[in-house]
Structure 1
Amino acid sequence: MKKIAIQGIQGSNHHIVAKNYYHENIVLNECLSFDVLTDSLITQKSDEAIMAIENTIAGSIIPNYALIDKHNLHITGEYYLPIHHHLMALPNQKINDIKEVCSHPMALLQCKEFFKQYPFIKLVEDVDTSAVAKTIAEQKIKGIAAIAPKIAADIFELEVIEDEIQTIKNNETRFVILQTQKPQNNTAHINKASLRFELDHKRGSLAAILNVMSDCKLNLTKIQSLPIIETPWKYAFFVDVTFDTYEDYAKAKSIIQIMANNFKILGEYKNGRL
């Protein structure tokens, strides 16, 4: 069975993605941080890893781009998960019994409008949504609730006090599938790529790259800049592109490789939106 590293524990959104993406028996390596998840791959404790990379409300998870780049990880696939946040606690409690809610900072951010109705509830950041649910269940803690996916309530036998408390109901997180070795993907099934490159400080240098993508019929779905730590005020660009034919992409790739500096292919894979 494949060993899959996830950020968090059973009942987390990463766990849901693992179940939905692999459709087979897998062994989960639970990691309480993305650094630990990355180390799990590098040290071969895991065959593949699932990493959240961006959210429709909170935007890009910048440190994760840096981890993928720094450790030369390969993106082999992606999965878009609708996010549903539920407030859960030990059974037989109502929301007025809750004095404190603990969850991952991203979950708290995505539910902040809901908690404006309950100013008496203290919001506390924690490392993982489901880890809080597990602690509440194991230690039988009353008066404290967790924000987590509904699967966590089922696993840890908690009661959902409030359903769907996220501010924006149409909320999705994009996850990428990672491994250390470059996969031998069939080009017939590849219609998306993640690229990384640097540009000289010249007028129109980025525009020239974007024109190449347009001329080669690539659709730019994401662009993100990150500072290059060793060189102040210089940035690396991370882009995602989709395409109808691999030949169009291959042509663009060969041109960009000449025009840009330190060009790197982070992954070529199937578009998870199709």
Structure 2
Amino acid sequence: MITTVAIQGVKGSFHHIVSQQYFDDSVKLVECLTFDRVVDALITKESDAAIMALENSIAGSIIPNYALIDKYDLHVVGEHYLDIQHNLMALPNQDIESIKEVFSHPMALLQCKEFFKNHPHIKLVEDKDTAEVAERIQKHKLKGVGAIASVMAAEVFDLDIMAKSIQTIKHNETRFAIVKRTNSEIPESEMTKASIKFETDHKRGSLAAILNVMSDCKLNLTKIQSLPIIETPWKYAFFVDVTFENYTDFKKAKSIMSIMGESFKVLGEYKNAKI
């Protein structure tokens, strides 16, 4: 049973929202300002599970998180998609002309840059976490300072929302991984998605051969991401997500790919949340 979950950010963050939607309100949060700290909380058993953002529909993959899951032999046991709505907020009784600086996570700033072109007097400053900025504004009563965060953050920290849904692309989703120290607890019959990692040599067609195995075994490739292998210049590891209707198809592909791919590894087997 999950009683504690580590998240990147504080109460009111998007990771906090995911914890409530995936688990429930009763789980205790271990608030972490970095993903390295999230992983540390998990491997030291300070938390039972962790939530880690993996990719955003606008900004793309959060590559370091793939590397963290791999490096510490963690297991993806589930996933959750969250509609990300960014809101500009500040202390009450101010208007947008009185806001001189807006602090937020770099990805949030990137996703809202078109909005701020219409407000050139506002200085944008990168920070560690969306909701943590909202907390700081409330704690220190910072006037003239705004945050970009969730509606929940505004509610938790008693801030006024000056502008809603300010992200450039209105349909904005982030995919989060539910991570644990051990492999999935659901039966094979319920598994419809897997995350794997492998390396290939520099022979012509080596990657194509593995992709052909996936196709021949009725796997649907939903994600492929390369990551440089630091110890070996110009060699790459591939992080791949596949979906399937029958676990036996994946099991067959897994047995073949483990022979064909170097350092083949299953990062997680779980239920596909995007159907």
TM-score interval, smaller chain: over 0.9
Amino acid at match of 2:148: I
**How much does 1:183 deviate?**
2.8
TM-score normalized by the length of structure 2: 0.98
- Find the counterpart in structure 1 of residue 17 from structure 2: 16
- 8 Å CA contact retained: 2:86, 2:166: yes
- Find the counterpart in structure 2 of residue 153 from structure 1: 154
Structure 1 unaligned residues grouped into runs of 5+: none
- Find the counterpart in structure 1 of residue 197 from structure 2: 196
- Find the counterpart in structure 2 of residue 218 from structure 1: 219
**How much does 1:215 deviate?**
0.7
- Find the counterpart in structure 1 of residue 115 from structure 2: 114
Q: Give, in whole Å, the separation in 1 of the partners of 2:220 and 2:12.
A: 35
Amino acid at match of 1:131: E
- Find the counterpart in structure 2 of residue 71 from structure 1: 72
Q: Alpha carbon RMSD of aligned pairs, Å?
A: 0.8
Q: Give, in whole Å, the separation in 1 of the partners of 2:150 and 2:108.
A: 10
List per-residue Cα deviations over 1:157-216 (Å, max 9, x = no partner).
100000000000011000000011123320111000000001111101111111111111
Q: Give, in whole Å, the separation in 2 of the partners of 1:77 and 1:13.
A: 17
Of 23-32 and 86-95, the range deviating more from structure 2 = 23-32
Query: The residue matched to 1:183 in structure 2 has which SS?
Result: coil
TM-score normalized by the length of structure 1: 0.99
**How much does 1:271 deviate?**
0.5
- Find the counterpart in structure 2 of residue 176 from structure 1: 177
Count of residues in correspondence between the two structures: 274
2:270 counterpart of 1:239: no
Identical residues among aligned pairs (%): 64
Amino acid at match of 2:151: K
**How much does 1:23 deviate?**
2.6
Amino acid at match of 2:100: K
2:224 counterpart of 1:229: no
After TM superposition, the structure 1 = structure 2 runs for residues 91-110 of structure 1, keeping only pairs within 5 Å, are 91-110=92-111
- 8 Å CA contact retained: 2:8, 2:31: yes
List per-residue Cα deviations over 1:71-90 (Å, max 9, x = no partner).
11100000000100000001
Q: Give, in whole Å, the separation in 2 of the partners of 1:184 and 1:173.
A: 24
Query: The residue matched to 1:88 in structure 2 has which SS?
Result: strand
Q: Give, in whole Å, the separation in 2 of the partners of 1:63 and 1:56.
A: 17
Q: Give, in whole Å, the separation in 1 of the partners of 2:230 and 2:73.
A: 16
List per-residue Cα deviations over 1:86-115 (Å, max 9, x = no partner).
000011111101000000111000000000
- Find the counterpart in structure 2 of residue 256 from structure 1: 257
**How much does 1:24 deviate?**
5.1
Query: The residue matched to 1:257 in structure 2 has which SS?
Result: helix
- 8 Å CA contact retained: 2:8, 2:38: yes
- Find the counterpart in structure 1 of residue 206 from structure 2: 205
List per-residue Cα deviations over 1:241-268 (Å, max 9, x = no partner).
0001001111111111111111000000
2:137 counterpart of 1:136: yes
